[in-house]
Each structure stands twice: as structure tokens, then as C-alpha cells.
Amino acid sequence: MTAPIKIAPSILSADFGRLTEEIAAIGRGGADLVHVDVMDGHFVPNLTIGPMIVKVAKAASDTPLDVHLMISNAERYLRDYIEAGADILTVHAEGVTHLHGAIQQIRALGAKACVALNPGTGFEAVDCLLEDLDMVLVMTVNPGFGGQSFIESCLPKIERLREAAVARGLDLDIEVDGGVKVDNVHRVASAGANVIVSGSGVFKSDDYAKTISELRQRGKRPAMYI
């Protein structure tokens, strides 16, 4: 028996000149979530989009938006992104001073709350918050750019998170983001991840629906993780 996984293509690798068509296409292709990367040129060395484009993305399909904030002072902007249409809102453990307060605020504003961990940040940063979270995002590249190589040494952190969630009886989603493609998705899924972000893996492929389906097939994981 296997447990289902969710596929979240990152629009960072989409054609922004045809953004709404690209979002509609991954929705038709079976994406479970639209992963939206927000960067401020400060927390990460790249600058992408703000709430106005999140609003455009929201209107482009019925697929829920998974908004990943890679910005400094994220707590100042939570309302803006949720009002723009974020269904899941992710803040970085490294970018927020009062992490517990930010999570409470996200939930009070009606979105699901997720905390992201950079490759250099340990499991301990979210250990005492797991009961308050809907999802933890494990970065498997240093955030800032699409198309980077998967960092192998992040795998034990995924295992440790899943073990903790199972031991504590938590219905916790574990998302993996960075360098995940059809050829390595089984590794993150067998470590315990159930939400797969793939940017260049999906948008640089010829057939989005086929790639999404292959990611789902190859990412089947043991039912013990349900």
C-alpha cells in the first residue's frame, strides 16, 4: 500500500509572459498546488514578485496557491499575501524573529501555516512548533534560484521530521523544494516527504501533465507514513 503525494510545480521556471496560461496548464495537468516563490533581493539574492502577481495567479485557476515567502520581515506582509490569495503561506525560520506568533497570525487570517528550513538549519528550529503547523518545507537547495542541484545532505532532516510527526501522531505535510525531478523524487518521498515542489523539472519539460504524473508515480511512498 502507498500513500498519496501532492505535486506543486514552482512557477519560478514558468514563462512569465504567459503566466496565467502556464498556471492553467499545470492545473489541467493534475498539479495539486501552485508553488509561488516570493523573493525580496534581501533575504535571498534574487527579486521576483509581490502580492499583485499572487492575485493574478489566484485568478488563473482553481488550484490552491502555496506561497513561499523568501523575504526579510515576513511578519509584516502576511496579511497582504493571504488577502491576495495564498491558501498555504510559508515563512522561513531564518527570516522571522517571532516564529510562533507568525504561525498563529497566518492561521488566524485563514491560511495554512508552513515553516521553511534552509539547508543549513536543523530540525530543532521547528521541533517545538510541529503541533502548530500544517506543513514544514525542507529546502534542498539554498533559496534564491530555480534550476540548482539537489543537496543530498538534507535527506536525514526529512526522515527526522517524518519520524517526529509519526511519533507525535501529527497530520503534518512535509514539502521538499529544490532540485527535485522525476529521477530523484523517490528519494525524498521515501525519506517521508509528501509534497513535492518541482520548478524546472516541470516547466522545462515538454509535457507538463506527463511530468506531473511521473512525479506522482515515482514518488509513491510507504503507507506507514500516512
Q: Which residues bind ligand DX5 (CB under 6 A)?
A: 10, 12-13, 35, 37, 68, 141, 143-144, 146-148, 177-180, 197-201
All cell numbers assigned to 216: 506522482
How is 39-98 classified by DSSP, letter by letter?
A: EBSSSSS-B---HHHHHHHHHH-SSPEEEEEE-TTGGGTHHHHHHHT-SEEEEETTT-SS
Q: Is 177 among the catalytic positions?
A: yes
Distance CA 193, CA 146 (A): 20
Nearer to ligand DX5, 199 or 219 (CB): 199
8 Å CB contact between 54 and 81: yes
User: Pick the catalytic residue: 66, 127, 177, 183?
Assistant: 177
User: Pick the catalytic residue: 32, 37, 66, 134?
Assistant: 37
In whole angstroms, the minimum distance from the beta carbon of 221 to Zn ion comes to 21
92 interacts with Zn ion by CB under 5 A: no
Interacting residues with Zn ion between 109 and 168 (CB under 5 A): none
In whole angstroms, the minimum distance from the beta carbon of 163 to Zn ion comes to 24
Distance CA 196, CA 8 (A): 6
Cβ–Cβ contacts within 10 Å for residue 215, how many? 26
Considering only 40, 175, 177, 214, the residue that binds Zn ion (CB under 5 A) is 177
Nearer to ligand DX5, 42 or 168 (CB): 42
In whole angstroms, the minimum distance from the beta carbon of 161 to ligand DX5 comes to 18
8 Å CB contact between 194 and 8: no
In whole angstroms, the minimum distance from the beta carbon of 106 to ligand DX5 comes to 18
68 interacts with Zn ion by CB under 5 A: yes
User: What value does the CA radius of gyration of the chain take, rounded to a whole number of Å?
Assistant: 16
Question: Which of the residues are catalytic?
Answer: 37, 177
Residues forming contacts to Zn ion in the complex (CB under 5 A) are 37, 68, 177
